[in-house]
Structure 1
Amino acid sequence: MHISDKLDSITWFRGSSVRIQRAGLKIHVDPIHVSDDSEADIVLLTHPHYDNFSEDDIARVRTPETLIIAPATMKKQLGDADHFMRPGDMLQLDGFDVLAVPAHNVEKKFHTPADGWLGYVFSVGDTTFYHAGDTDFLPSMFGIRCDIAFLPCGGHYTMGVDEAARAGEACGAETIIPIHWGDQLELADIERLKDLFSGEVMILDRLG
C-alpha cells in the first residue's frame, strides 16, 4: 500500500488526539473533541493533562468491546482501563501489537520522567506507527523504528520543530505528522519541518 493511502485513514482532531483506521481497526489516541461517529476498537492514553484526557470523549468513543490502554500511573483517573503499561512494556493483541515508550521533558517540569507517562509504538496491518505523546527529544527514540511518526511540535510544553525533525530521523520514520501545534506555532512554522526532515511531512487539518 502506498504511503498516501495509509495517510488517508488518519484524522487529527487537535493537540495529541488522532484517529487511525487500518486493517479493520479504529484506534484513538488521547480522544479530545472527537465526532459522535468515532467509536473506537482501541483507545491509547498518553497522560492525564486536561488537553489530552477527557472522560466525556472517552465515553463518546467507547463501546462494550473497546479496549482502553493507559499509563500505570493513571489508575486513579481511569481505574477501569483494560491494560496499564509502563515504559518498556509490550502488549500483543489480536491484530495489534503495542510497545509503551517514555514521554517526558528533559529540563522543563510539565512532564517529568517520574510521572511515568507514555508514547506508543504500535503495528496495525503492515504499518508501524509511533505516537510520541507529550515529550521532548529523547535518546531512546533511536531505538524506535516506525513508518509514520506523530510528533509534537508546539515548542513550549513539548519539543519544537527542530527537535521533531531530529526525532523523526532518530526513529527512522518515513513520514512525520506534526501534532500538538496551532496554539503556540502557526502553519508557517510547521512548514519548516519539510526543510529539516529528510522524509515526508504530512500536515493535517485540525478538526477540533
Structure 2
Amino acid sequence: MNLTYYGHSCFLLETGGSKVLFDPFIRPNPLAKDVDVDAIEADYIFLSHGHGDHVADAVEIGLRTGAELLGMVELLSWFTDKGLKTTYQMNLGGTARLPFGTVKLVAAAHSSSLPDGSYAGLAAGFIVEAEGKSFYFAGDTALTYDMKIIGERHTLDFALLPIGDHFTMGIDDALVAAEWTGTPKIIGMHYDSFPPIRINHDEARTKAQAAGKELVLLKIGETVTL
C-alpha cells in the first residue's frame, strides 16, 4: 500500500485498487499550496470529525470524484445535503466492509462541529485492515486509556498520530499512545500548519528514538510504500 501526505492530517491511501482520502484540508493550508487539488482522485473519503481543518475540501473533491464518504452519522448527514455520497454513516464500534478491507470506528477524545456550527456527532478514529496489514488513524485526540483496547484487539503495523500539541496530543503523549496501541511506527500528523502546533522536528525524532519508536515526518506531497 502507498500513502501520500497532503499536509496537516490529510493523507491518500492507495490499497487494493482503491484510493482513500483522509480528512481533506488542502486549499486553506498555506503549507500545501503546491498540491494540485484538482489532480487528487478518491474512491472514498474518510472524515474523523467536522472541524474545518479536516473537511475543508471534502465537498469539492467529493463532488468531482464521486467518492463515497465514511464517518459518524451526524457528520455525514450534513454532507448529504451538499450532494455527496454519504454511503457509510457509522458510529463508534462499528465496522464497514469495503472492497479493499475493513474499517472500524474507534473513539477519539476531541470536540466536533461543522464549519457552520452544526452538530457533527463524536470525533472518531479509524482502524483500517487491508492487504494483510492493520493501522490506526487516530484523528484529533488526546491521550486516552481507550487506546489500550486497540493494542489488545489489534496488531498494528503503524499508526497515524497527531503530534502538534495544543489542540491534540503532543509528541510525549503520542509516544505513550504508540506504546499502548503496540505500534512500532508513528506517522506524524496535525503539526506545523498553524503557529500553536509548530514542532521541533529534531527534538520529536530524538524522543521517539529514545522510546524505541520510529517517527516518520513526511514532506507534503511525499509518497511512501508501507
Length-normalised TM-score, structure 1: 0.83
In the alignment, structure 1 residue 165 sits paired with structure 2 residue 175: yes
| 1:193–1:28 distance in 2 versus 1, CA, 3 Å | farther
Counterpart contact for 2:134–2:157, Cα < 8 Å = yes
Q: Deviations over 1:60-92 (max 9, x none)?
A: 25523x221021221442124111111111111
Q: 1:152–1:164: 8 Å Cα contact kept in structure 2?
A: yes
In structure 1, list runs of 5 or more residues that go unmatched: 1-5
Identity %: 27
Task: Say which of 117, 122, 142 aligns to 2:123.
Answer: 117
1:3 corresponds in structure 2 to: none
Deviation, structure 1 residue 58: 4.1
Q: Secondary structure of 1:173's match?
A: coil
| Aligned residue type for 1:21 | E
Question: Residue 111 of structure 1: CA displacement?
Answer: 5.3
Can you give the 5+ residue segments of structure 2 that lack an aligned partner in the other structure?
Answer: 27-34, 114-119
Once the two structures are TM-superposed, the CA of residue 186 in structure 1 deviates from its matched residue by 3.1
CA RMSD of aligned residues (A): 2.3
Distance of 1:202 and 1:101 partners within structure 2: 23
Report the counterpart of residue 69 of structure 1 in structure 2.
Answer: 70
Which residue in 1 is equivalent to 2:141? 135
> Between Structure 1 and Structure 2, which shows a larger proportion of helix residues?
2
Once the 2 structures are TM-superposed, how far is the Cα of residue 162 of structure 1 from its aligned partner? 0.7
Instruction: Letter of the 1:74 partner, please give it.
Output: L
Report what 2:219 is aligned to: 205
Residues paired across the two proteins, number? 194
Per-residue deviation at 1:187?
Answer: 1.9
For residues 162 and 200 of structure 1, the distance between their equivalents in structure 2, rounded to whole angstroms, comes to 14
Quick one: distance in 2 between partners of 1:32 and 1:115?
A: 19
Q: 1:151 aligns with which of 152, 156, 161?
A: 161
Aligned residues of 1:99 and 1:121 also touching (Cα < 8 A): yes
The equivalent of 2:44 in structure 1 is: 42
Q: Is the 8 A contact 1:21 1:27 kept in 2?
A: yes
